[in-house]
Every structure is written in C-alpha cells, then in structure tokens.
Amino acid sequence: MTIIANWSYPTSIRFGAGRISEIADACEVAGIKNPLLITDRGLADMDITKKTLDLLESAGLGRNIFSDVDPNPNQRNAENGVKAYLDGGHDGVIAFGGGSGLDLGKLVAFLAGQTRPLWDFEDIGDWWTRADADAIAPIVAVPTTAGTGSEVGRASVITNSDTQEKKIIFHPKFLPSVVICDPELTVGMPSFITAGTGLDAFAHCVEAYCSPHYHPMSQGMALEGMRLVKKYLPIAYSDGANIEARSNMMSSAIMGATAFQKGLGAIHALSHPIGAIYHTHHGTTNAVCMPAVLQFNKPAIKDLIEDASNYLSINGGFDGFCSFVDDLNQSLNIPKKLSGLGIDNPDIERIVSGALKDPSTGGNPIKMTPENTRELLSDII
C-alpha cells in the first residue's frame, strides 16, 4: 500500500511554572508592540489576569483588555472584539484563558484585517484561502485551563447565535506565534472546571486515537495523552495546587489538540450542537457523550481500544476501558445523561441535524446516519 499524507505540527511553546513572567518577551518575539489581551468575563478581574496586565504595563506594552466574551463565543463577541482592536490601534493579540478566550482572541487577530464577513471563512473546502493571510495579526496564546488545547490549534469554534450552530473557522495562521503554558495559572480553577476541561483533553485523545485517518504521530501522541489524563486528572481534581498534576494536564491538553489533526468523531459531533443550543460546558458535554459513543463505535474500535488498554494498564480490554471511563466520570461528578446538564426535553431532530453537518463526523470510525445518530442520542438523554 502506498501511503501519502500532509502533516503539520505546532508552534513555539514556553512551558513551565512562572513563565508568564516572559509575556513581554513573547510579544517582542511575535513582533507585537501594542497588544490587546482578550479573555472571558470570568477571568477579567482575576489575579492572574491583573498580574499579566501588570507585566505588560511595566514593559511599556499598555494594559489593554477586551473581555466581552461568552462561554460559547459568538459572532457578536467577535464584532465587538474587532472594533476594540481597531479602535485601539493594536498590532497583535494575547489570547488568554480557556477555550472561549483563546478561540475569540485568535478570531479577532484573524478578522481585524479582513474585508469579507466571518462566515465566508467557515471550515468548508478551501474557503480558508479567501483570507488575506498577510493581514492576519500575530498571536501570543496563554491557556489558563487544561483541556481545549486551542493554544496549538489552527481553528476557532464560534457559535452563530442567530442559528444556534457552532461553526469552525480555520486558517493555518490561527496558529499562535508563541504559547506560554504556565501551570500556576490553572491552580485556581474550580474543581468542576478542572474535571470538564480535563475530560475534554481526554475526549480529544480518544477520538483522535480511534479516527480511521492515517497519522501515526498523532496516534502516538493521543495514546500518551490518555495516559497523562488517567494518571494526573484525579490528582488535579482533588488537589488543585499540585503543580506536577497541573503541568501534566496542560501537556495532555496540548497533545490532544495536536493529535486531533487526525480527526474527531461522534463525541464532538454531538457536543457541538448540544452546546450551541443549550449552552452547556463543552468538555463536560463531551464526557457525558463518551460512554455511549464508545459503544456505538465498538465494531470498528474494539481492537484499537484493547491495545490502548494494554498501554494504559487497564484490565479487561474494550469492556475494561469502558468501565474505566464510567468510573472516571463518576469520580469527577459528571452526569450520566444530558438531563444532568439541565436538558430535560432536547430537540432530538435539531441535534441530529447539527451533528450530521458537523465536520467532526468525518473522523468517526462508524459512518453516522440520521437513523443511527438518533439512536445514539437516545442513549444519553
């Protein structure tokens, strides 16, 4: 068999406790002299954000911040962010926070120099080539959670608030110039956010590992990412100040997001429309969907999961792995059904339609159809 593939891997990463102190130097490396720090509302007044703004101000880079960012960022957040960027005469973005702040920050850096509307750049075919690549502003990314991995991603997930659909906007230059991964920034995360974001990283690794596409580097990274989550997420959840656990969870998030270049699948295909319609936490929604999706894909992934179980020291092959996932979810207080997320009467047809249109469906090992997706969804209601 002749194997042909195109591969591209991430960016310059400064990893380690205390490295937020290098934020001004990171801006200099990226060529940014007047940055706009973009984060979500919840982080805007937190000490880690104020400390970062202090570091920027002391280096003569100002302390400009935009925080009008929803938990599931949308096109209105993007419009307001672009206006703030242009009004301030900024020349680059510091994307700061969890997935919402990182995704919105990258999108503002992308959109500020474009003349076409946002949805012209949706991840469909070669639509990304419509962008003026030279007009994309440089980005420094600073994650404050350990899950989404958006700091090493070439896309942003943005909700169309008019249609209540999550859309993926892609361009190779969404990839930040410099990433600062400082686990000290994650110490203050509430336990439920630690759980949801950590299980998001796990979902990325599981789906990338099971995707049928050929990418052996991603395959290995996904497998090791799973091991890190298995070992360190329970520790980070129970002891949020454990820097070793926080560090390894940040690594697993990077690994999961890098690995899913190989593909995602039904977990994300379901969680994207569910989150867009019902505004649930993305990682937690992934965790609720995972057990049913594993069973759904069993005919195609049984042998793969058995190999993973051996590597992860999980007894019982495929069934043992599924039991491990169930136990992990339970230990982290993840609901078993969508009703536990406050969704008591979901619009099944709307979710199924959104799932089948989601780009993640292309990486699922079992072809998703209206019939089997409806049946799959019924298992998590």
Domains and CATH numbers, the chain: 12-186 (3.40.50.1970), 191-378 (1.20.1090.10)
Mean pLDDT of 22-28: 98
**CA angle, residues 185, 177, 128, in degrees to nearest 5:** 115
Distance between alpha carbon 356 and the CA centroid of its chain, in Å? 20
Tell me what pLDDT residue 3 has: 72
Is 159 in contact with 276 (CB distance < 8 Å)?
Answer: yes
User: Which ranges of 112-164 does DSSP label H, i.e. alpha helix?
Assistant: none
Classify the C-alpha dihedral 261-265-270-273 as positive or negative.
Answer: positive
Residue 8, pLDDT above cutoff 70: no
Which pLDDT does position 313 carry in this prediction? 98
CA distance 81 to 66: 7
What average pLDDT does range 210-234 have in this prediction? 97
Q: How far apart are CA 176 and CA 60, in angstroms?
A: 22
pLDDT tens per residue across span 317-330 = 999 999 999 999 99
36 — phi, psi (to 5°)?
A: -110, 115
Per the model's pLDDT, the better-predicted residue between 10 and 299 turns out to be 299
β-bridge partners, 35: 92
Residue listed under structure tokens 């935009």: 66
Q: Residue 107 CB: number of other CB atoms within 10 A?
A: 28
Q: Does residue 1 carry a pLDDT above 70?
A: no
Q: Which residues pair with 159 in a beta bridge?
A: 74, 166
Asked if residue 5 has pLDDT above 70, the reply is no
Give the 3-state secondary structure percentages of the chain, helix then strand then coil, rounded to 5.
60, 10, 30
Task: Please tell me the distance from the alpha carbon of residue 381 to that of residue 378, in angstroms, as a whole number.
Answer: 5
Residue-wise pLDDT tens digits, 40-49: 999 999 999 9
Q: What is the pLDDT of residues 106-142, one digit of tens each?
A: 999 999 999 999 999 999 999 999 999 999 999 999 9
| Closest-CA residue to 255 (of 18, 72, 9) | 9
* Distance between first and last Cα of the chain: 43
pLDDT of residue 237: 98
Helix-helix angle 191-210:317-331, to 10 degrees = 160
Query: CA torsion angle for 318, 320, 324, 330 (degrees, to 10)?
Result: 110
**Residue 2 confidence (pLDDT):** 74
Calculate mean pLDDT across residues 258-268.
96
pLDDT score, position 271: 97
Using a pLDDT cut of 70, give the percent of the chain over it.
99
183 to 145, 193, 209, 236, 379: CA distances (angstroms): 9, 15, 26, 11, 36
Give me the mean pLDDT over the 18-27 stretch: 97
Confidence of residue 9 (pLDDT cuts 50, 70, 90): confident
Query: In this predicted model, what pLDDT tens digit does every residue of 332-347 receive, in sequence order?
Result: 999 999 999 999 999 9
pLDDT for the residue 4: 74
Residue 274 near residue 338, CB atoms below 8 Å: yes
Whole-number mean pLDDT of the chain? 96
Task: Determine the average pLDDT of the residues in 250-275.
Answer: 96
Describe the strand order of the beta sheet including 178-181 as a list of residue ranges.
Answer: 12-15, 178-181, 139-143, 92-97, 35-38, 65-66
Phi, psi of 15 (to 5 degrees): -115, 130
